[in-house]
Amino acid sequence: MGKMNVDLCGITLDNPVIPASGTFGYGREFAELYDINILGTFSFKGTTKDARFGNPTPRIAECSSGMINAVGLQNPGVDKVISEELPELKKIFNKKVMANVSGFSIEDYAYTCEKLDKCDQVGWLEVNVSCPNVHGGGMSFGTSPEAAAEVTKAVKAVTTKPVIIKLSPNVTDIVSIAKACENAGADGISLINTLLGMRIDLKTKKPVIANKMGGFSGPAIFPVALRMVYQVAGALDIPVIGMGGVSSAEDVIEMMLAGATAVQVGAANLVDPFACRDIINDLPKVMEKYKIDSLSEIIGLARE
């Protein structure tokens, strides 16, 4: 069997497959279905300083080759995540977990990251400056190099663990923003978050979700995500985590060839809760088919 392990910011993953934030909760529901220790790791639900109820319903809708969501970062707040969710997670997951953090100000990001940085279970801090579904925060920090760099600097100043900045595709120049984060001290980049999209119900003549617009994800966005991973990985010296429409072992290989060190799986988890397990189980067969001995050796191979 080929070698599936990869190194992500100094921490070894048994394989590069990571369920994406917002599609895997805090792991408990999936642990009832299969042993989640098969995963490389997972990125838990976007966590903010204070508890959030999220956006009004309806806030999820299916559409051709994907889905639109505007959940709005519903979560119990960082204190409850640390006091309740992480102790429960420890019972079912024996690897380091990726903590996904969102905020509405630079101070919010720094506060939440500093608290999670002290948790032994947390291996990486994935700082989301790219959520399109909240007002006055999230994506507003990820659409300019200066703002993204400011958040990066503030978080790096109060943390010791690897900081991975999650970027929005809803920009004209993704490379300049990623480069600004690297220059500000980021240890890695996650991309892409959802594209901004909407649908209108022909019967009601109104948008299908209450927020009007939301994050568009699913297989339809894979070529856009792959292109951005290719561009960013080629311009940076820090690892890139690729995501966006990934739903098969072949997609994982393609992302890695484009330059991704690890690969997150998002919307596919909502369609099939066994998606990540099945992708991991399929990887050895796909590696054999394409004569790949080691996944770490194919990272960025498409650009050579």
Active site residues: 131
Judge residue 146's burial from the number of C-beta atoms within 10 Å of its C-beta, 0-12 exposed, 13-18 middle, 19 or more buried: exposed
Residue 13, strand partner residues? 6
Residue 99, strand partner residues? 125
| Tokens describing residue 192 | 């892409």
CA distance 189 to 179: 10
φ and ψ of 198, to 5 deg: -160, 160
CA distance 192 to 131: 10
Q: Please, are residues 210 and 59 in contact by the beta-carbon 8 Å criterion?
A: yes
| Tokens describing residue 200 | 């209108």
